[in-house]
Amino acid sequence: MSTVNVLRYSALGLGLFYGFKNDIGLRSAAAQNAAEEAFQKKVKLVQEARVEYGKLQGSANQKGVKDINLEDPNLDFSAVILQAVDSLSS
């Protein structure tokens, strides 16, 4: 009878230990998934903001861009250099 009780309570203790261990593992996995979903949501928002910023700034940058022909004998090098510096600053 004593051996049966020892086995019974040992099984109960092991079951409780396994249950707590499994519960902790599942909770941490759920927390990691929630954090990953929140991170992906932020990444998506940043990408959408970059696209919108590109739409707004792309049209402004394309207006000032001129085609430069380095083979042109009448090329104004100072204007080319100033345009390059202006494009770097903006």
Which tens digits make up the pLDDT trace of 37-76?
A: 999 999 999 999 999 988 888 765 555 557 778 788 888 8
What is the structure's pLDDT at 82? 86
What is the structure's pLDDT at 65? 59
**Domain total for the chain?**
1
| pLDDT more than 90, % of the chain | 56
pTM above 0.85, yes or no: no
What is the structure's pLDDT at 33? 98
Residue 16 sits in which domain range? 2-89
Question: Is the separation of the CB atoms in 83 and 66 below 8 Å?
Answer: yes
How confident is residue 31, by pLDDT bands cut at 50, 70 and 90?
A: very high
Closest CA to 57 of 68, 65, 69: 65
